[in-house]
Amino acid sequence: MLIMARPAICSDLWEIWQIIGWVLWIFKIVIPIIIILFGMIDLGKAVVASKDDEIKKSVKSLVMRAIAGVIIFFIPTIIGLIFGIVGDFSEVEAEYNICRSCITNPGGCEAAAQSGCAELGGTWMDGTCSIPEE
């Protein structure tokens, strides 16, 4: 008898979800720092130039950049909340938990994929989950 494995998008592609999680983590940390740093450099140039109009413009620019940095910092949290709202589907909950874990905590992605595979009734071997057809 041939047992076909049903596709499991999150447990089979956990490495891709992990990469997406690392990219989001880097964006969350690096981009706000760069935005605020450039704003501070612009403000420093305006203060050295000692022109009131340039200082006011630079302060406004720094505030806008700081707001953008805070928004970018919270994008992964917002994504996590969206995943939390969508995660109320019991038939795909184990798969969903793997995707959410890989995006929000990329360091623990493989462990989440392994436990999710076991929760789905599959077997974990060489980084892949084999789930038999029901």
- pLDDT on residue 132: 65
Q: What 8-state DSSP symbol labels residue 33?
A: H
Q: What is the CA radius of gyration of the chain?
A: 22
Give the residue extent of every domain in the chain: 11-124
Chunked into runs of 10 residues, the chain (134 residues) has average pLDDT values of: 53 84 85 83 82 83 83 78 68 74 82 77 73 62
Residue type at position 26: I
Q: Which two tokens stand for residue 19?
A: 């990469």
Q: Which residue has the tokens 């022109």?
A: 51
- pLDDT on residue 3: 45
- pLDDT on residue 1: 37
Query: What is this structure's pTM?
Result: 0.65
> What is the rounded CA–CA span in Å between residue 3 and residue 32?
49
Helices (H) and strands (E) in the chain, counts: 5, 2
- pLDDT on residue 5: 47
- pLDDT on residue 13: 80
Q: Which two tokens stand for residue 34?
A: 């760069």
The vertex-37 CA angle with 81 and 57, nearest 5°, equals 100
Residue type at position 123: T
Beta bridge partners of 128: 125
Measure Cα distances from 89 to 20, 56, 77, 98 in Å.
Answer: 23, 51, 21, 14
Residue type at position 93: E
